[in-house]
Structure 1
Amino acid sequence: MSAEHIAIGLVGYQNGYKSKLLRAFLNDEEHALAFCSNEAQIFKCASPDAACYISRKRGHVGSAFCAHPGHESDRVVLSKDVSLLDFPDKTVYASTILGGMFILDGVLILSDAKLPFARLPTVELIAAASVLNKNVVLVQSMKDPIDDTRILEHHHEITQLLTGMGLDEALTILPSTSANSNIGALSTRISNMCTAVYEYHAPAEMIIMDSCIHEDQGTEKTVLTIQGRVLKGVLKKKQQLEIRPGSFSHDDNGQIMCNPVIINVATLDSIGGNDQLEQAAAGDMITVRSNIDYEQIGGIVADMSGFVIGHVDSLPDVLSALKLKVILLPLMFDSYTEDFKEVSIIEKGEVLLVTVGMLSAAAEVRKVVDETTVVVTLKSPICARKEDKVLLLRSANVCWRLIGHGQIEDATVIKIGKAIHG
C-alpha cells in the first residue's frame, strides 16, 4: 500500500531524549537506531468518527486494529510514510540545520521540559520554517510523569512564543512506548502536516544530503553511495544521471567553467536500505548507488552534500553571483550575550553566508542597490534557479546567525563545460 511520503527533521540538545523519542515513535525498543535516518509509518483508525493515529517502524508487522478505547474493532489504514532525519544539535551548525529545512516537510524541536527553554536554535528554525512554508512541532520531553512547577512555567513560556508566531501549542511527551507517552498526539500532528506539491512529470531532480565512496570487497569495484530527496520527476534504475556543480576548470580565455559529473545508476534503495526500488518519485527519500571510476571522479564525489543530481542537461544553472531581493528579520540572536539584538542593514563589502537548498556559500556583498536589493559574489559557485529562495546568515562570534531571507532576481551564470563520465 502506498502513502504520501513526509520527511521530518529532529533537532535537540538532549541526545538521550532524542533516542527515546525515536524508539517510542517507531514502537521498537529492541533494534539499534539508524545514525542519520529512521523510517516509520503512521496509521489512522478507519472509523469515520475517529481521529486515532498510531506509529511504528516501517516494515514492522503490528496489529491491524486500532488500540484506542472504543475503537478496538476498527481497522487501521496507512496514512503516511515518514523519514525521520537526525540533524546536528550544536549552535555552530546553524547553517547546516537551516539548509536541511529545504528538503524537509517539517521539523521536531526537542526540549527538556524541566530545563529553561533554549531559544537557540529554536527561534531561527521557526523563522526559517515560516519563510520556507514548513511545519514545526516543539516537543517538551520528560523522563517521568511527575508534577513540577518548573515544567508548567517552561510550558507557559514556550506557549507564549509559539502563539506569537502563529504555531500550535508545544507537545509534552513521555518518551516511551507506554499508553501515557502521548506519542499518538505526535503521530496526529505529523500525519496532518501539509506537504509540498510535486511535479511528477518534470525531469528528475534530487538534492544530495550525503555521499560517500567505498570499495566493494566482492567485486573490487568502487561504489558511490548518494542519499537525498527527490524533488521532481522520477528516477529509475540503470539510467544516466548528471551531478552539478561537479568540478571546475577554465576555458582558453581563463574564464571559469563547470564540469558536471555523469554516473549510471546501479541500484535504488529506500534511504534506510530496507527496500530495493525500480524507481523513485518526487517526495521519496532514497539511496542511489553507482559503480564509478575512482581515478576519474573519486576526488569530486566523495563529499557532495548540497549538490543536485538528475536528468542530464535539465538541472539548474551554476551561479557565481546573485542579485537578491532581501527581507531582514527584525531581530537576530547573539550567541555571545544569549539575547536578541536588532539586525543592522547589509553593507557593501561584508561577507554573508547564503544558503540555497542544502548548499551554503560565503558571499561578499558587491553592491547595495537599495535597502531591499543587494548583489553578492559567491566564494564557491552554487546550483540554483532564478526565483529560488535563499536564507541569509551573518557571522556573530564565530557562529553564523540567521538575519533574513531573499529571492534570486538575477544571477551570473557559469558556462557548462565538458562533462566528466564516472
Structure 2
Amino acid sequence: MNSKQGDFGPKGTKMVMMSSRKGGLMEQDLVQLDVTQLHPLSPQVISRQATINIGTIGHVAHGKSTVVKAISGVQTVRFKTELERNITMRLGYANAKIYKCEDDRCPAPVCYKSYGSGKEDSPMCDVPGFEHCRMKLLRHVSFVDCPGHDVLMATMLSGASVMDGALLLIAANESCPQPQTAEHLAAIDVMGLQNIIILQNKVDLVDRNQALHQHTAIQNFIQGTSAEGAAVVPISAQLKYNIDAVCEYIVKKIPMPERNFTSPPCMSIIRSFDVNKPGFGVDDLRGGVAGGSIMKGVLKLNRLVEIRPGTILKDEFGNISCRPIYSRIVSLYAEQNELQFAVPGGLIGVGTTMDPCLTRSDRLVGHVLGDVGSLPELFLELKVNFFLLRQLIGVRTTEGEEEAGRVGRLTKGEIVMLTIGSLAAGAKVVEVIRNRVVRLQLTSLVCTSRGERIALSRRVNRNWRLIGWGTIEDGSTLEVPPPPF
C-alpha cells in the first residue's frame, strides 16, 4: 500500500508509511505503530527525532554555545537580549545527527561527522579516498545549552533535569576551575549525572606548555567528582578543530539510556510559547506550543492529553486549587522534522489546541503533560530526605576572590528554592527532623512523584545558590478534579 503524507486514515489520522522515505528521512506510520517493537535506534525514530539529551555546561564565555553550533550548525543564542550581551540567558536547544563512515578503513576520528537534524540518513563520506562510501547514522542528539552566568543557576538546574550526559567546557586561556565551572559540576553531581566529557576549548589561544599545564589542573580539579576519569578533549570550537573527535567520544563515552516506551506518556515541559504573530487572522491562529522532553511512553498525533497542575487558583483565604488543562495534540516537531509520534529522549515541540495565552512566555514551564488521568500527584507540602554541601561553590565576594563559606543548616521558617524536574519552586521550611529530613511548604503546586531527586538552593548575595540535594519521601497532596468529559 502506498500512502503520501497528507492522506488521512481512520479517525482523521495522517498515514505515513515507515517503509518509505521522504527527503532522505524515514517516514512514520501511526496505523502500523507497535510501541513494544520500538527502541531509541529504530530507523523510524532516530531518522527524525533525537533520542538522547546532552547538556553543555561550564563557566560563562567558555564556548558552550559555540561548540553546539560547531556540531549542529544551529545558533542557540537567539533572543534580542542574548544577542546584545552575547551570552545565553535561557536554555538553548539544537539537534544534530552523528555519522560514521561504513568503511572500517576510514581513519578515526575523521570518519565521524555531524550534521543538522534534517540531514538524510545515509550521506556520502567526505574523507579523501572514501568519497564513494556511505555514512551510517549512529546518534541523533539534542543539545541543552545552559547559561554559564552565576545569576542564572536556577535555569541551569532546570536543564540538568533532562540531561543524559554533559559536555563540560573549560577555556584553555583561563585558570581552572572558574567559579561556575565548579558550581555546574557540583550541580550535575547533585542530579546524579555520570556521563561527562570535558572539552578543553580555545587551545588555539595558548601554546603547548600552557595547554599541558591546564590539563594537569583539570585532572586535579575533577578528582573525587562524577567527572573523575572523564576524557579531556582539546578543541577549538571557533575553528571547528577536533569536533570530529568530540563526535567520536559522544558515541563511545555517552551510552544510550534505557527508555520506557510502553508506559503512559509523561513529558516534562521546559519551554512554552505562542507561535502566532501580530496581524494573524482568525483562521490563521494556532494553539499554544509546549516544548520538553518525554520521560516515558510515546506521544501520538491527535491524542487527548492533560497538563498538570494547569491553572492554579487561590481564594481569599489562601486556599489553593487547580484546574488541569485538557487539550489535543495537533502537531509534533523535533526542530524542523514533523513527527507522527514522539518517544523518550530529545526535545519535542507539541502543538496543541490550547489557548496560546496559557503557553505564552514560558508560562507552562515546570508543568507535566501526558495521558488524561495518568500523571503524578499534585503536592502542596513535601517531606524530603536531604543532604547539604559542605560549602558554597562558585560564590565571589569581590572580583577575583572566591568565598569559601560553609553551608549553614536549614532553619525553621527559612525560604529555599527547590528544583524538581524542570520546575523551580519556592518553599518554606516547616520542620527539620534529625538534620536529615525536612518538611517543606510549597508556594505553588508541584506535579511530581515520591522518590524524585531534587536540588536545594538558598538565596546568597541576592542570588540563588546550590546548597544540596534531596529525595522526596512523602507529602500532602491535593485532590485533582475529574475531567469535565
TM-score (norm 2): 0.76
Matching of residue 311 in structure 1 with residue 311 in structure 2:
no
Matched with 2:402 is 338
Of the three residues 342, 349, 364, the one matched with 1:280 is 342
**1:267-302 CA distance string (max 9 Å, x none):** 1111x2x211111012242111123346xx648886
Aligned match of 2:299: 235
Answering whether residue 103 of structure 2 is matched by residue 103 of structure 1, we say: no
Higher mean Cα deviation, 127-136 or 222-231? 127-136
Deviation at 1:322?
0.7
CA deviations 1:235-293 (Å, max 9, x no partner) are 111111111111223699974222111111111111x2x21111101224211112334
Tell me, yes or no, if structure 1 residue 213 matches structure 2 residue 274. Answer: yes
Residues 131/72 of structure 1: CA separation in 2 closer, same or farther (3 Å cut): farther
Any idea what SS the aligned residue of 1:144 has? Answer: helix
Other-structure match for 2:197: 137
What is the CA deviation profile of residues 1-48 of structure 1, one whole-angstrom value per residue up to 9, with x for unaligned ones? 34472112223555583454233323x5xx766733221111134456
Change (3 A) 1:68 1:371: farther
Query: 1:331 and 1:86 mapped to 2: Cα distance?
Result: 26
Secondary structure at the aligned position of 1:242 is classed as strand
C-alpha displacement of 1:420: 8.0
Which residue of structure 2 lines up, in the alignment, with residue 40 of structure 1? 96
DSSP-derived class of the 2:295 partner: strand
Shift of 1:406: 0.8
Q: 1:73 to 1:235 in 2, by over 3 A?
A: same
Match of 2:151 in 1: 92
Distance in 2, Cα, partners of 1:319 & 1:146: 52
Q: Shift in Å at residue 162 of structure 1?
A: 1.6
Query: What residue is the counterpart of 1:269 in the other structure?
Result: 333
Using the alignment, how far apart are the partners of 1:136 and 1:104 within structure 2?
11
1:193-244 Cα offsets, whole Å, 9 max, x none, are 1343222111111011111124362524242011111111111111111111
Alignment-derived partner of residue 88 in structure 2: none
**What letter is aligned with 1:318?**
L
The one-letter code sitting in structure 2 at the alignment partner of 1:320 is L
Matched-pair identity in %: 28
Does residue 56 of the first structure (1) align with residue 124 of the second (2)? Answer: no
Equivalent residue in structure 1 for 2:437, among 370, 373, 393:
373
Tell me, in whole angstroms, the C-alpha distance in 2 between the residues paired with 1:324 and 1:99: 19
Secondary structure in 1 matching 2:147: coil
User: For residues 184 and 301 of structure 1, do their structure 2 counterparts lie closer, same or farther at Cα, with a shift above 3 Å needed?
Assistant: closer
Asked whether the 8 Å contact 2:267–2:293 carries over to 1, the reply is: yes
Structure 2: which amino acid aligns with 1:316? P
Distance 1:351 1:198, change over 3 A: same
Aligned residue among 213, 224, 238 for 1:153:
213
SS of equivalent to 1:347: coil
Match of 1:202 in 2: 263
Residue-by-residue CA offset, 1:163-209 (whole Å, 9 max, x unaligned):
3322414322122566xx11122112222313432221111110111
Deviations 1:115-165 (A, max 9, x none): 123433222322332343322223221162651544333322122112332
Question: Which is further off, 121-130 or 383-392?
Answer: 121-130
Partner of 2:464: 400
CA contact (8 A) 2:98 2:138 kept: yes
CA–CA distance in structure 2, aligned partners of residues 374 and 361 of structure 1: 16
Q: Give yes or no for contact 1:138–1:170 (8 Å, CA) kept in 2.
A: yes
- 1:381-400 alpha-carbon deviations (Å, 9 max, x no partner): 21110111111112211122
Seen in structure 2, the aligned counterparts of structure 1 residues 19 and 189 have a Cα distance that, compared at 3 Å, is same
Cα deviation 1:321-371 (Å, max 9, x = unaligned): 111111222332233252333322222222211111010111111111112
Q: Residue 203 and residue 184 in structure 1: after superposition, are their counterparts in 2 closer, same or farther (change >3 A)? A: same
Q: Equivalent residue for 1:260? A: 324
The 1-side partners of 2:246 and 2:329 are apart by: 37
Between structures 1 and 2, the one with greater strand share: 1
Of stretches 81-90 and 334-343 in structure 1, the one that deviates more from structure 2 is 334-343
Paired position in structure 2 for 1:417: 481
In structure 1, give the amino acid aligned to 2:271.
Answer: D
Amino acid in the other structure paired with 2:339:
L
2: CA distance, partners of 1:146 / 1:250? 58
| Aligned 8 A contact 1:328 1:403 in 2 | yes
Is the deviation greater in 259-268 or in 57-66? 57-66
Contact 1:6/1:105 (8 A) holds in 2: yes
Which residues of structure 2 form unaligned runs of 5+?
1-42, 79-91
Q: Distance in 2 between matches of 1:33 and 1:395?
A: 29
Residue 194 of structure 1 aligns to which amino acid in structure 2?
Answer: P
Q: Name whichever of 362-371 and 9-18 sits farther off.
A: 9-18
SS at 2:287 equivalent: strand
8 Å CA contact retained: 1:335, 1:396: no
Change (3 A) 1:233 1:151: same
Q: 2:233 aligns with which of 165, 171, 181?
A: 171
Letter matched to residue 82 of structure 1: V
Output the CA distance in 1 between the equivalents of 2:126 and 2:274: 44
Q: CA RMSD in A?
A: 3.0
What's the CA shift string for 1:77-122, capped at 9, x where partnerless? Answer: 2111011222222111112101211111122232321112343322
Does the C-alpha gap of structure 1 residues 5 and 292 become closer, same or farther in structure 2, counting only changes over 3 Å?
closer
Inter-CA distance 341–221: structure 2 relative to 1 (3 Å threshold): same
Does structure 1 residue 8 correspond to structure 2 residue 49?
Answer: no
1:384 aligned to 439, 448, 457, which one?
A: 448
Instruction: Give the letter for the 1:40 counterpart.
Output: A
- C-alpha separation between the residues in 2 aligned to 1:15 and 1:128? 19
Q: Give the aligned partner of residue 224 of structure 1.
A: 288
| C-alpha distance 372-293 of structure 1, shift in aligned 2 (>3 A) | closer
Residues 14 and 121 of structure 1: CA distance in aligned 2, closer, same or farther (over 3 Å): closer
Give distance in 1, aligned partners of 2:171 and 2:359.
42
- Looking at structure 2, the residues matched to 122 and 298 of structure 1 have their Cα atoms a distance apart, in angstroms, of 36
